[in-house]
Amino acid sequence: MRRPSQPWFFVSLVTMAIAISYFDRQALPVAISAVERTISISDAQFALLQAAFLVTYALLYAGGGKFLDAIGTRTGFAISMTWWSLACALHGLAHGLGLLVLGRLLLGMGEGAAFPAATRVIAEWLPATKRATAMGIINAGTAVGSVLAPPVIGLIILMGSWRYIFFFAGTLGLAWAVGWMVMYRLPAEPTLSATEESATIPWLSLLSSSKVLGMVTAKFLSDSAWFFCLFWLPKYLYDARGYDIKHVSYFAWIPYAASGLGSFLGGWFSSYLLRNGHSLNLSRKLALGLSAALMPAVILVPHVPVSLALLLFSIAFFGQQSWSGLIMTLPTDVFPLSSVGSVAGLIGFGGAMGGAIFNLIAGQLLSHGAGYGTLFAIVGSLHAIAFCILLLTSGVLQAPGSNLVPERGKLISS
C-alpha cells in the first residue's frame, strides 16, 4: 500500500533538486562582480555565457524528456543531476572565458532533464486534482535556490575565493543524486488508468498538435522575459543601481522569495478551483491569466527608486513563477504518462530557446547604447502575448481519456 505521505516526500526531493539547479545556474550571475576581477567579461560576453547555458538547456530539455520517457524517472534524474553537478564544479577551474563557456554548455545539458523529470514524478504519483499544487511546490524550488544564492555566494566570496562556490554546489548535487537513487521508487498503485499509461503519441503528432505548439510558443515568450530577469537582475543592480556584492547579498534575494510564493499560490489556487467543482479548463486558464497580468509591473522598474524597483521585481517574479508552474502542469493534465516527458521537454525547449535568443539580443542592445528601460518594456509585455496565444491554440483542456482519439492504432492529440 502506498502511504499518503510518500508522494509528497518525493515531491520534496524533487523540489530540493530544482533548488540546487537554480543555485547552480545563478552562481555565475551573482558572483560575476568577483569573477570579473580575475576574468574580463563584457556585457556581450556575459550574454554569451547565459546563452551558452540556455541553448544546450533547450536541446536537452526536449531530448531529456524523450530520454526520461525511455529510461525512466529514477535513473534518468540521477544521471542528469550527476552531469550538471560536475559541470558546475568545472566553472571553478576556469582562468579564461573559454572554460566558462564550456562549463555553461555542459551545465545546460545536465539541467535540461530536471523539469521533465519533475513532471513525470507528478504524473506517476499524483492525481490531476493535486498536480498543480505539487508543481507549484516544485517550482518554488527555483526560488529556494535563487534566494539562497546571493547570501551564500556573498559569504563564500567574503571568506575565500569565488571558485569555492562552484565546488560547493557540485558536491551538493552529487550527494543528492546518491540519495535519489537510494530512495525513489515507482508507486505500487498507479495513479493513471491503463489507457492513459500505455497510450503513445508519436513525435510527429506532438509537433503537429496545436496544443503542443501553443504551449511551446507561450513558453518561448514568457521564458524570454524570465531568463532575462533571472540572469540580469544582479548585474542590473551592480551596473545601474551601484550595488556591491554586500548589497546584492542583502537585497537581491527578495524578488526570488516572491517568486517562490507565486509558485506555490498559483498551483494552490488552480487546484482549489478544480477541487471545488470547476472544470480543468477554467481552473488552469484563470490562474494562468491572473499570473500573466502581474508581469507588466517590471516595465516601471527603471523609473522608480531602487526600493520600489525591488517591490516591482517581486510582483513580476510572483506572477512569472505562478505562470511557470501552471504551464508545466498542463502536459500532465492533457497527455498520457508515456508522452508527458516528451511534451514537457518540447515546452521547456521553447522556453530555453526564447531565453537564449533574448539574452543575446539584450547583450547587443546594452553594448550598443540601449538602456535597461527598453529591455524592461519588452519583458513586461511578453506574458500577455503568451497568454493570448495559449487561449487561441489550447482549445478546451480535458483529461487524456477525453482529448485523445484513436487514429491508425495510435492516440493523437485532437
Residue type, 264: F
Considering all CA atoms of the chain, what is the largest pairwise distance in Å, rounded to the nearest integer? Answer: 64
pLDDT at 43: 85
Q: What counts of helices (H) and strands (E) characterise the chain?
A: 18, 2
pLDDT at 201: 66
- Alpha-carbon distances of 267 from 140, 260, 276, 291, 363, rounded to whole Å: 10, 11, 14, 11, 33
Task: Please enumerate in sequence order all residues whose Cβ is within 8 A of that of 73, keeping only pairs 6 or more positions apart, or say none.
Answer: 117, 120, 121, 124, 184, 186
| Each residue's pLDDT tens digit, 345-385 | 788 889 989 988 998 899 889 888 788 899 999 999 999 99
Residues of the chain with pLDDT under 50: 1, 192-198, 403-414
Residue type, 112: G
Q: Decide if 316 contacts 229 (C-beta within 8 A).
A: yes
- Return the closest-CA partner of residue 295 out of 310, 312, 309: 312
- Return the closest-CA partner of residue 131 out of 120, 141, 142: 120
pLDDT at 284: 92
Torsion of CA 267, 333, 385, 395, to 10 degrees: -140
pLDDT at 239: 82
Q: Decide if 149 contacts 26 (C-beta within 8 A).
A: yes
Burial (CB count within 10 angstroms: exposed 0-12, middle 13-18, buried 19+), residue 244? exposed
Assigned C-alpha cell, 285: 486558464
413 forms beta bridges with 404
pLDDT at 149: 85
Alpha helices in 73-183 (DSSP H): 73-91, 97-111, 114-125, 128-159, 163-183
